[in-house]
Structures are given as C-alpha cells and as structure tokens.
C-alpha cells in the first residue's frame, strides 16, 4: 500500500527495478515466499544462505515500502507475523525464473526440480499457476 519513491538515478526501467530489488538479498526473500512456502520471519532466517536478522528486518521493511510484500499478525499466534507477496511481488516470477535459468546454465547451480522445465515449456500457463497459488489464499476476515 505504501509506495515510498525516492529520486531515481534515471528513467530506465531496468534501473528502476534494480533500485528496488537490485541487491544480494531482496530477491532471495521473494524466492522464499514464491517457491519455498516461507511465511514467517524465522522461515527466511532458516534459508540456506543465512541472512542476518538485521538485514532481513530492513529488507522486509523496504519490500513492504515498495509494495512487493505485505504483512499481518498471525491470528493463530499473536507473536507471529505472516508475510505474503502482493500481485506486484508475484509478477517478479519471470525475473526469478530467468535468473534461475541463467544460473543453472552458467553458474552450476543445482537445477530446481521440474520448475524450470515447466517455465520453458509454457511460460503463460506456469505464470497463471503461480498467480493462482499465491494470490487465491484465504485472508483473515478482519
């Protein structure tokens, strides 16, 4: 909902994207939300890459300010916070998938089972499936 936009270095859309998600951690958080079922703070901390808690906290704030992530208190456990991708966040899927494809081809990352093949075979269908999975979630009724 918030959309704090500071002065841009340029009007190039690639640059615009990089100013929002162009760092070593933001897209890993989006990845965890999109493909690893992460919802809670501790889920991100337990990721293989080992993000520091202060970095995680500051990135989650930035991602919310950018309208990529939302948060709400966990109705089942008042201590917990549940993080979710917004529609804007979900639409980062193609970026993540192309990064994954490139990494697999040139940087010897372990190919994620099946996902990339599905993406390469039918991007449209795959995107539709991801949107459905991540956006048609039952929300707390307030």
Partner DNA sequence: ATACTTAATTGCGATGTGCAAGTGAAATTG
Partner DNA sequence: CAATTTCACTTGCACATCGCAATTAAGTAT
Q: Which parts of this chain interact with a second copy (CB under 8 A)?
A: 9-20, 22-24, 27-28, 31, 47-50, 67, 88, 91-92, 94-96, 98-112
DSSP string of 3-72, one letter each residue: ---PPPS-S-HHHHHHHHH-SSSHHHHHHHHHHS---SHHHHHTSTT---HHHHHHHHHHHHHTTSEEEE
* Min CB(3)–a second copy separation in Å: 10
**According to CB under 7 A, which residues from 49 to 68 bind DNA?**
50-55, 57-58, 60-61
Nearest Cα neighbor of 16 from 30, 31, 5, 29 is: 5
* Min CB(139)–DNA separation in Å: 17
**According to CB under 7 A, which residues from 16 to 35 bind DNA?**
23-25
* Min CB(137)–a second copy separation in Å: 21
12 touches DNA by CB under 7 A: no
In this structure, what token pair is assigned to residue 115?
A: 């996902």
Would you call 86 exposed, middle or buried from its count of C-beta atoms within 10 A (0-12, 13-18, 19+)?
middle
Task: Give residues in contact with DNA (CB under 7 A).
Answer: 23-25, 40-42, 50-55, 57-58, 60-61, 71, 74, 77-81
């Amino acid at each position: 909902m918030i959309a704090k936009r500071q002065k841009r270095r340029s009007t190039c859309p690639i640059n615009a994207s990089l100013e929002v998600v162009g760092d070593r951690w933001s897209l890993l958080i989006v990845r965890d939300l999109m493909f690893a079922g992460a919802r809670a703070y501790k889920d991100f901390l337990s990721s293989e890459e080992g993000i520091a808690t202060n970095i995680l906290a500051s990135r989650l704030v930035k991602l919310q300010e950018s309208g990529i992530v939302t948060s709400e208190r966990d109705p089942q456990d008042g201590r917990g916070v549940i993080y979710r991708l917004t529609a804007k966040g979900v639409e980062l899927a193609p970026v993540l998938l192309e990064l994954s494809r490139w990494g697999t081809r040139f940087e010897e990352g372990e190919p994620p089972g099946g996902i990339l093949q599905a993406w390469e075979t039918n991007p449209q269908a795959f995107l539709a499936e991801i949107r459905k999975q991540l956006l048609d979630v039952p929300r707390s009724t307030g």
